[in-house]
Structure formats: structure tokens, C-alpha cells
Amino acid sequence: MHDPLREQQHCLARHLRDPQRHAPPRGLEGRRLKLYRTLFYGGIEALLAGSFPVLRQSLGDQRWHAQVHDFYANYRCQSPLFTEIPAAFVDYLQGIESDTPWQLELAHYEMIESQLYLSDARDPEHDPQGDLLQGEPVLSSRACVLSYRWPVDRIGPTFQPLQAPAQPTLLLVYRDAALQVRFARLSPMAYRLLTQVQGSGRQRLQALGADLQAGLALLENLREQGVVIGTR
């Protein structure tokens, strides 16, 4: 059935997304259309700039706005929630040719920060006072152990490497008890301890050939920070 109102709404939406390719509905005042275009794009751009401040500064005005315009015009978000737009932008970046080789990883790194800050995920069942050698250490639901090819924790307007380092950048990102998101670099041993081996703390350390006392000290320190929350 022909629905003039629905057609007009779709026409307006297409124009607001991409005014260079889509004409506006007939009969709408140009001044009002410009106001709508400014408000709609400005809202998305401000949200993304707040979620990816380092990426925005690193790309500069021209490249940043070109990407946001393309995202706004062509990407189809699957959720109406504003809190999920940063993840949609990272998904968009995976499907385009990046302006820089480190852009996608830097965006992912910044997205993790915003996700942890807003997270209301519940921790799994655990014993907060459990023996970290005898039991299986449990990671907080508000902690992420990450590996990147590029040194995303250092990249910014004044440092934009052209070649990835020989060794990956291993990072721990977590939200502390004061609701602040913290970042720390991890040694290869600490990264593997938290991600690549299973079993009790003792079994994990033995599998890695690590000193038990030094490994236990690391696990206890992580428990003090709220990264390891106890044992399963």
C-alpha cells in the first residue's frame, strides 16, 4: 500500500544521512533541513569523539570527520542504544581501508575503556579468600587482558609509528573499586598466566616454568587490585 508519510520519512532520513547523494523531501525549508543535518551529525560525532579521544586527535580534523561522515551515511547500526555506538564504529572500521595501520587497534583499545566504565556485568561465583596456588584464579568481569600488534597505549598526535614492533603490546585494562578504569602493561609470563593456561595457580605457574613464589606474589597483587577476585 502506498504510504506518502512513510516515503517522506525515508526520504528525509536518507537526506540527513548523506545529503550529497540524496535530495530532501519536497516542500521542506532549506534552513530547517540544515539545522536537522547539523544536529543529527553533531550528536553522533560528539559521542564518537568522546569515546575515541586519542583516535580523534591522532587522525586530525579532516580524516576524522571524513570517517565519521562515512560511518554515519553508510553503516547500519543494529541497536538503538547510544552506549553501543562505539562498538558499532569499531565494527565499521574493520570493513574499511584504514588511514593508518594502527587505527583499528587503537579504536578497539579505547572502546574497551568505555565498555568497562559502563559495565554492570556480574562476577562468576568465587571464593574471595581462596588459595591462589591451590585453587583456580578467577578474573574480574570488569578486567580485560589484551594483546595488540601496535603500542596502542603510547600512540597519539606526537607518536604515530609506521612499523609494528617485533613484540606485541600486552595490556591489562580493569575497573577498580573507585570506578576508575586503569591500564597496565603485562609481561609475557603474566599474559600467558591469565589467558593461555588453565587449572590451579600452581598448575599454571608450573606449566609456564615460573617461580612459584614470584607467581604467587603476582597473583596476590592482582587480587589486591581487584583484577583477580579469588578462586573458583
For the chain, strand residue ranges (E) read 137-139, 143-148, 169-175, 181-185, 228-231
Considering only residues 31 and 168, tell me which one the structure prediction assigns the higher pLDDT.
168
Q: Tell me, which fold does domain 1-99 have in CATH? A: DNA polymerase; domain 1 (1.10.150)
Considering only residues 7 and 209, tell me which one the structure prediction assigns the higher pLDDT.
209
Average pLDDT of the residues in 91-99: 93
pLDDT of residue 15: 66
Cα separation, 107 vs 164, whole angstroms = 16
Could you tell me which CATH number the domain at 122-232 has?
3.90.930.50
Is 198:190 a contact under the CB 8 Å cutoff?
no
Asked whether this chain's domains 1-99 and 122-232 adopt the same fold, the reply is no
pLDDT at 182 over 70: yes
pLDDT of residue 1: 46
For residue range 39-92, list pLDDT tens digits in order.
888 899 999 999 999 999 999 999 999 999 999 999 988 888 889 999 999 999
Is 177:142 a contact under the CB 8 Å cutoff?
no
Burial class (CB in 10 A: 0-12, 13-18, 19+), 76: exposed
pLDDT at 27 over 80: no
For residue range 99-125, list pLDDT tens digits in order.
899 999 999 999 999 999 999 999 999
Cα separation, 7 vs 25, whole angstroms = 9
pLDDT at 147 over 80: yes
Return the domain boundaries, the chain.
1-99, 122-232
pLDDT of residue 30: 66
pLDDT of residue 217: 96
Q: What are the φ/ψ torsions at residue 148 (nearest 5 degrees)?
A: -130, 150
Is 99:67 a contact under the CB 8 Å cutoff?
yes
pLDDT of residue 17: 77
The pLDDT mean for the chain works out to: 91
